[in-house]
Structure 1
């Protein structure tokens, strides 16, 4: 080293200078990235890209997705972030068939609606029209013409009162698979039992029972049927004990259905 001449550390260690440049470049790239992300976010929020494009509905069973969307009053002319999700959920829950509703925005432009409905325990038949009965006992307005009962039995001959109330309480205790196996329940009171009923099952069997012990007896229905010949239809009597009486012929079966 020449006398009186100072050599900088950057000249002595070239790698340190390169390192400083790299740090400066990375800082610049980071700042530019944040800037462009910020600009993209502003453009997204201000442009139609954030407007509601699709509305997804989950959990609905009796209502169509279109009906749920109409209840929510969610429109497609606003940003998903400006949708009042709480109000939309409240709009849906105003319908007495809806147990709960949750509305959430989904990036980039969707709204998700998750609902839970009260189960329809049965349908009350009246002159060819059907009024759904909810699990909480509420009897709804009759279905629109052409709309058919689903996922629950049709009740024939019943009116609002203690017989209907007891039947619904017993049905509610039954497993869903047994509830769904029942096609029709006819109110057929006798002199000795004002709660006597006749049920027609989806598998072709007929069940004579009483609402008083419906759960207690019907809980064994799958086991009883498994021991019968599926080709031989008839009446399963569950009023007192439990026994099966086959139809003598097809005409007898048709006659029984015609009487109820």
Structure 2
């Protein structure tokens, strides 16, 4: 029995040695890999690959790429791991035109800034300049000196609650109806301080009020489809909904003149 035990242990010795050798080899490989990784990390952080190479801006129309880059604080050459993407995006949303922003790392060392701007809803005529009005009612201190054609022109408005209410009502209209509006004039009356006169791109004039603007103007295409396109005039949407041609208005004025002469 004793001899058999001795033989059994002797047979196991080579296996134990082999197991220890494999374990030592694995530990050596791990240490070498870790050392190599550290060397590569040092080389990487010292190489141009760890520094911002290019920065691209996407989605901007109202804000220049130069302004966005300046506000983002991102610059070519800075360490990419020193860039806080969330903080950078938050800085960009402080620009009045920006609704939201995302900053993405484009492998290996470039950044892409994607911005979502507030929509342009109208223009405000002020000091012979057409200023851009955003969907939240904010008036930008920039615009154009030529008459705009890509959004309605507002006349007679001030930068106050009435303007914001007007933009809110305008935003509730379907896009196809918004595109039909050329001008919106605020023409207060004794009976309605929110009275509007609209000039449409299809040649009609509309009398309305801010109070029920989106509710009534939503039906504008349906109303126009029932009219004779050869006869232009005023579509009154203040109380009900009726149409009077310019010819009939001219006739009414002539009749009033004849009566006064008599």
Provide the TM-score with structure 2 as the length reference.
0.67
2:232 matched residue in structure 1: 234
> CA 1:178/1:144 → structure 2, altered by over 3 Å: closer, same or farther?
closer
Correspondence for 1:138: 138
* 2:108 pairs with 1:75: no
**Pair 1:210 & 2:209 matched:** yes
Which digits, 9 at most, give the CA deviation of each residue in 1:115-153, with x for residues without a partner? Answer: 23333433221132133333333333243767x757532
**Larger Rg, first or second structure (1 or 2):** 2
Shift of 1:107: 1.0
* TM-aligned CA deviation for residue 212 of structure 1: 1.7
Counterparts of 1:200 and 1:41, CA distance in 2 = 67
CA deviation digits over 1:152-172, x for unaligned, max 9? 322111124454343233223
1:232–1:45 CA distance, 2 compared to 1 (3 A): farther
CA contact (8 A) 2:195 2:209 kept: yes
Would the alpha carbon gap of residues 210 and 247 (structure 1) be closer, same or farther in structure 2, given more than 3 Å must change? Answer: same
Deviation at 1:185, TM superposition (A): 0.8
Shift of 1:210: 1.5
Going from structure 1 to structure 2, the CA distance change for 1:40 and 1:201 (only over 3 Å counts) comes to: farther
What root-mean-square deviation, in Å, do the aligned CA atoms of Structure 1 and Structure 2 show?
4.2
* Gaps in structure 2 of 5+ consecutive residues: 1-28, 248-262
In structure 2, how many angstroms separate the alpha carbons of the residues matched to 1:150 and 1:207? 19
| Equivalent residue, structure 2, for 1:106 | 106
Contact preservation (8 Å) 1:51, 1:77:
yes
**Does the aligned pair in 2 maintain the 1:234–1:244 contact within 8 Å?**
no
Q: Deviations over 1:63-84 (max 9, x none)?
A: 2333322221211122333223
- Residue 6 of structure 1: aligned partner: none
Q: 2:83 and 2:73 mapped to 1: Cα distance?
A: 10
| Aligned length, in residue pairs | 241
Distance 1:43 1:98 in 2: 39
CA deviations over 1:169-220 (Å, ceiling 9, x no partner): 3223223443343232111223433222122234444322121210111111
Which residue of structure 1 aligns with residue 21 of structure 2? Answer: none
Asked if the contact 1:48–1:79 (Cα under 8 Å) also holds between the matched residues in 2, the reply is: no
Structure 1, unaligned stretches of length 5 or more? Answer: 1-28, 249-260
Change (3 A) 1:220 1:42: farther
